[in-house]
Structure 1
Amino acid sequence: MLLLSRSVFLQFVPPFLLTTGVLTFVLSMDTVFRLINLIVDRGVKLSSVSLMLLYRTPQFLSVTIPIATGLAVVLVVVRLSLDHELTALRASGYSYGQLGRIATGFGLLTTALGLLITLVLQPLGYRAFEDEKLRILKSHTAKTIKPQVWNYDFSGKVLFIEALGANDQLQGVFVSDHPMGKDGSVTVASSGSVDFLKEEQAIVLHLQEGAIHRYSPTGGYQTVTFDQFRYVFAPPKIVSNAESGHIWGVPTPELWQGNDRTSRVELLLRLTNPLAGLALAAGMVSLSIISPRRYRTGAYLRAFILVVVYYLTWVAATEMATYTDTSELVLGVPALAVLTFGILNLLRMDGLGPR
């Protein structure tokens, strides 16, 4: 029996690796296209772009590994059914429960891998991605700000400098809203320097000895002089930052010590998301067992429905935990429900559970 169990267990590995690779590739396509644009439009080095893609990979794997686990179980069990191997296993005294335990063991292994990714690698990767993005931003801004060149690269602004002094000091700075509206302003300064805000990922011009010219709401004209002025504006769109929340980069021990709800929800998400692999592995076994005389389409359709139902309930649980006063423990309900469903189904098929 041990030899048979090991043989069945090893059959899960090839489809799991293949499915993980395909799903990760598909999920990363949008990011890949954006990073390719950095090479074409911004002249960013291929090595930097490759690093950024590597840093994002743990985020992709945290999604694809649980799905790939369930699909691997479906593919193997359906093949065993159609090739009469499952019939031979049953004739030798092998129960559906034993097959379910093997699949669940495989799910436990992939869940452990998923926990390593969500608890350790994903926060590290996100922080490294943000650091690399800031480094590219600094490098790109240094190349973009050139004397005697009108710079329209910054969203809603146009920048012009007369010259660059020692230590990259800006001389003769002109900054204007673009396009100029009724409430637009023009800022001029004799000198200034460039700095960066890491958290906000914004560019700061430290201007000296200048004036701000703008129209007042009443239709008049205002001039405000200054000795020092801190001009903050959005950087060029080096990489899309549609993802919200730098909490993704917070180390897991800090989340564990945090008392706010946001930290608790993020910690529970990191702990419960990988459990999808275990739940789907257990739930897919009974859905994938079919008669050799039947087509495999029905098994695949049932597996697809289970995945959709699981992630719909997961989205609902996440929304409840994030935006309502519901306990954060609701995040574990989808995995627990699917796991219970799979175990009860296997017990029923072996004649041990409720009918």
Structure 2
Amino acid sequence: MQRFDRYVLSQLMVVFGFFALVLVSVYWVNRAVVLFDRLISDGHSALVVLEFTALSLPAVIALVLPLATFASAVYITNRMSGDSELTVVKATGYSPWRLARPYLVFGLLIAAMMLFLTNYPVPQSLQKLRDREQELTGSITAALLREGTFLHPSRGITFYIRDITPSGELRDVLLSDRRNPTREVTYTAGQAYLIRDTDGPKMVMLDGLAQTMELMRNRLSTTTFTDFTYDLSGLIATGEARNRKTDAIPTLELLLTPELVSAENNDSLGEIAERAHMRLQGPLLCIVAALIGYGALMVGGFSRFGVTRQIVFAIFLLILVKVVEGAVTPLVIANAALWPLIYTPTLVGAVFSAVLLWWAARPFRPRRGIAAGATA
């Protein structure tokens, strides 16, 4: 690679790092705010929020890489054009096709990075995230220990605690069990404790009252007790293994054994094919984004008004590529045999890039009015 190519590539990588950092921060902070509000309100600690946001980071990075690639190509091309660097280089005989080489190498590098992310860290982090969500779903502390709130940990159950002391004692507890269609039982106690033994979590209530309502006979009976143990294992989901989601399954497994994956999670073969090939198609968009960002700004000559129109045109072309992606995705989901259509956006973007470079490389021909005036 020649010195000019290394110079352009180094500039692209530096600016790409900046744009990627900014975009990842914006997406990540937005994700962290949602997780913070949900997890903290469920009684989890800030460390759990930090763990969840960290596990969501690979997917966020993979999401913003094409945008950062496009923004970097546009910014560097605009800056080099404004500083007349491109004018000097073109005067030495470099064509727009030749100048596109560092942008192509840049797109390939980012595509390789995104290919690794989408096929390894992203599925693994999503699986780990779902495993942790499943563990927290079965957490007694998060599900039940919330003061002054009527909770419904499962269908037909209402649970309330007025106060929790620093020693873990529950004060003024109410537990309503309406799971039996013929009978409702309401337990109230002045004190209670949560314990865990080999049979699962239990709650020991002291000095309480059990009120049983026989719905068929419309009869209420009450029983006072000194201590009573209530089994909580049926109220809170334990960590039973769940079927894996398609986006958390390794790519090779999706490509080689789609029937087994479909039998595991009930997704159609089209959905599995779309997920698998999108992990390969997404990185290719980085190459397309870099070339479109460069090619669009190379079209047209110098203007005192800058390159705003070219930038808007480049964004429009990138939107068209995404529109094509949105159009072919339902077709592949409906019929897995149409999986080659997933790569149509890359082909369309490559055509756009080639047309832009051809247009930029064509010989300059002044307009007739200008030419006639110069001849006169």
TM-score (norm 2): 0.69
> Deviation string for 1:207-259 (max 9, x for gaps)?
xxxxx98979xxx98xxxxxx99957789xxxxxxxxx821111223213223
Do structure 1's residue 259 and structure 2's residue 268 form an aligned pair?
A: no
Which is further off, 281-290 or 266-275?
A: 281-290
Q: Partners of 1:147 and 1:101 in 2: how far apart?
A: 60
DSSP-derived class of the 1:28 partner: helix
What displacement does 1:29 show? 3.8
Aligned to 2:36: 36
- Structure 2: which amino acid aligns with 1:111? A
Identity among equivalent positions (%) equals 20
DSSP-derived class of the 1:158 partner: strand
DSSP-derived class of the 1:94 partner: coil
**Kept after mapping to 1: 8 A contact 2:16/2:68:** yes
Two-structure CA RMSD over aligned residues (Å): 4.0
Q: 298, 301, 306: which one pairs with 1:291? A: 301
Q: Partners of 1:291 and 1:99 in 2: how far apart?
A: 16
**Kept after mapping to 2: 8 A contact 1:184/1:214:** yes
**Kept after mapping to 2: 8 A contact 1:317/1:330:** yes
Aligned to 1:7: 7
Give the alignment of 1:1-355 within 5 angstroms. 2-38=2-38, 40-139=40-139, 141-142=140-141, 144-145=143-144, 151-154=150-153, 157-159=157-159, 175-176=176-177, 186=184, 246-260=245-259, 261=269, 262-289=271-298, 290-294=300-304, 295-324=306-335, 327-351=338-362
Distance verdict in 2 for CA 1:55–1:253, change over 3 Å: same
Q: Partners of 2:91 and 2:290 in 1: how far apart?
A: 24
Q: Partners of 1:292 and 1:35 in 2: how far apart?
A: 48
Q: Partners of 2:288 and 2:121 in 1: how far apart?
A: 22
**Kept after mapping to 1: 8 A contact 2:143/2:153:** no
Aligned to 1:238: none
Which structure 1 residue ranges, 5 or more long, are not aligned?
162-171, 195-203, 206-211, 222-227, 236-244
What displacement does 1:275 show? 1.0
> Deviation string for 1:325-346 (max 9, x for gaps)?
6601111100111012202321
Which is further off, 16-25 or 340-349?
A: 340-349
Q: Partners of 1:343 and 1:185 in 2: how far apart?
A: 74
Which is further off, 54-63 or 152-161?
A: 152-161
- Structure 1: which amino acid aligns with 2:252? P
Distance verdict in 2 for CA 1:214–1:129, change over 3 Å: farther
The structure whose Rg is larger is 2
Which structure 2 residue ranges, 5 or more long, are not aligned?
162-172, 188-194, 203-211, 219-230, 239-243, 260-268, 364-376
Aligned to 2:372: none
**Kept after mapping to 1: 8 A contact 2:154/2:235:** no
Q: Partners of 2:182 and 2:320 in 1: how far apart?
A: 51
> Deviation string for 1:144-170 (max 9, x for gaps)?
436999851537641479xxxxxxxxx
Q: Partners of 2:362 and 2:94 in 1: how far apart?
A: 14
DSSP-derived class of the 1:273 partner: helix
DSSP-derived class of the 1:270 partner: helix
Number of matched pairs: 308
Aligned to 1:198: none
Higher RCO by CA contacts (8 Å cutoff, separation 6 or greater): 1
